[in-house]
Amino acid sequence: MNQSFLDALRARVLICDGAMGTQLYARGVFLNRAFEDLNLTEADMVVGVHQAYLRAGAEIIETNTFGANRLKLASFGLAEKVHAINLAGARIARHAARDAAWVAGSIGPLGVRVEPWGKTGLDEAQTIFAEQAAGLAEGGVDLFVLETFRDVNEIGAAIHAIRSVSDRPIVAMLTTAEDGNTLDGTPVEQFGPQLVEFGADVLGVNCSVGPAAMLDTIERLAKAVPGALLAAMPNAGKPRDVDGRNLYLCSPDYMASYARRFAGAGVRLIGGCCGTTPDHVKQIAHAVHALSPAVPAASAVADVAPDAPPRVSPVPVEAKSQLSNALRRGRFVTGIELVPPAGFGHDRIVEQAREARINGLDVVLVSDGSGSRARMSALASAVTVEQVAGAETILQYCCRDHSLHAMQADLLGAHALGLRNLLLVTGRPLRHSEYPDATAVFDVDSIGLTNVAARFNRGEDVGGQPIGQPTAFHVGVAANPTAVMPDRELSRYRYKVEAGAEFVVMGPIYDVDALRQFLEDTAGQRVPVIAVVRAFETARQAEQLANEEPGVSVPESLVQRMAEAERVGHVAEEALAIARELVVAIRPLVAGIIVAGAGGRVGAALDILGALTNASSIRTDDAPAGAVRRQVAVS
């Protein structure tokens, strides 16, 4: 093309192509294949799709590289072919377009969560995006199209990555819901200016919704970023399941009618996403070419700005809960772990919690009992314990089984029902299940969820939108002093504290030296540590934990003691003695101890914790705050 892409876009509305995946699927490519690998194995098929869109009137064609990043290709065993696939994709499109159309390098999201919601760092994401962009640039693309992103942080990383390898124009598009917010909840009034700040040349929305809802979003985007070059690439309506296939039922004429409306709203780049075919593009091109160049509608409303959210004051830590107040004042706390009941009968857990409260324990840790068995949720169990038994709880909430939207809903509901103390954990993959087809979600990990809770405490959701009054969550996280990969565990612990963790729960602890070392290594993070002590149930369990459980360190001396106790018939007594010794040894290092296991028997927990009273060097009453803080400063 003789004219540059951006100059042409400023002069008139340009037509982009439609869905690549839809056309490849229609040509018989199974969904379990990596469509991008066809650049190396079935180049003629990809060329055929490009040519069909060019004949329909497309002035820009996108490379068949939407998912050609290292992470997505790895699931197909193609991680080492990133450069080759992207290079081939660009050259195939260049060959098809020749000098009659611009070639856009298509880049989609990584398929994993990036910080602050996931464990993939922004620097790591930039490296992955830069690798893909380098192959596309070498192949001769005229511009880059970032499409179907849901996370503003991730698309920002992609823009920075492209800028590190190329100065070609960038079209940056997020996918939105019908309310005009990204799928993570960021409003268009917020992400529009952010895309400009990141350095995008053209900004817009694509995928997810049909043209009607997208038009509303585009009109808001034009107001939020007056004078910006805008792009709109909707799906051909919402998919409908017909005999197991997703069919998009918007007609070409209907899409064309909205193309005219997009142009009237100031959009300069119009194309299609899922379900869009060459027939749709042909009608879109006819409709747009019949119009005179559109004047961006945003210019008429340049002085309109969204109202700033009201300022809120976070709740002080000491005012969040009795537990947070005790830890803040340096008072040593004790508690017991209880597991949600199977079924819906809650009498037993209520009675156990009531007994714990009456006997002076500060808190009940309600563990996440989700897994293979049908149990009451930890959230419902914790609410029941607090409302019926009158005991304060720590709700262990597991990321594994919930999407980000579901987790936000659960936490807000938990707060409304009076829960304040959270223990946020990622959760392990299901290993033993009575339901072999059960799946896990793992949308975000505990670091991401800690960021969510911290934002709630500042009065905003993950999209930065106000939620009204801030929550008062006392945010706790887990850490394992005997993790298989200690450096990674230390790093994750630090990230959790940076994200907003206010206390940490460690354990079960059997190796006191390992706990002491972990606390020394994390001395810079001053959040209180609560240790979990779990009594052995059998000698075989002690042996199994020592040899089969990843991340659990049981000293050989304890295994031998349990084996000898089994030989003489004193297993229960020895298990109790070991647990009592552990709480005494751990006490000077931490801010509190929770006893786990023992079937929730409060008497056993009290017996174990009773060792603290009998230890002459330990104070269990309210010691002066300064003295206790010196004991727990390493946390």
- CA–CA separation, 618 and 585 (whole Å): 10
**Residue 426's closest CA among 153, 118, 186?**
118
Strand partners, 534: 596
- CA–CA separation, 596 and 533 (whole Å): 6
- CA–CA separation, 222 and 219 (whole Å): 5
**Residue 536's closest CA among 584, 485, 578, 588?**
578
CB atoms inside a 10 Å sphere around CB 432: 6
* 3-state DSSP assignment of residue 529: strand
- Supply 403's token pair: 């999407």
Taken as a whole, the chain contains a residue count of 635
Half-sphere CA count of 591, side-chain side, radius 13 A = 27
- CA–CA separation, 69 and 162 (whole Å): 13
- Supply 620's token pair: 């269990």
Contact 375, 349 (CB under 8 A): no
**Residue 228's closest CA among 203, 257, 194?**
203
Q: Which residues are annotated as a binding site for Zn(2+)?
A: 207, 273-274
Residue linked to tokens 């070419």: 289
Phi, psi of 41, rounded to the nearest 5 degrees: -110, -25
Classify residue 617 by burial, with Cβ atoms within 10 Å: 0-12, 13-18, 19+: exposed
Please name the residues in contact with 619: beta carbons below 8 A apart, sequence gap of 6 or more: 332
- CA–CA separation, 13 and 319 (whole Å): 57
Q: Which residues are annotated as a binding site?
A: 207, 273-274
- Supply 60's token pair: 């820009």
Is the previous residue joined to 588 through a cis bond, with omega within 30 degrees of 0?
A: no
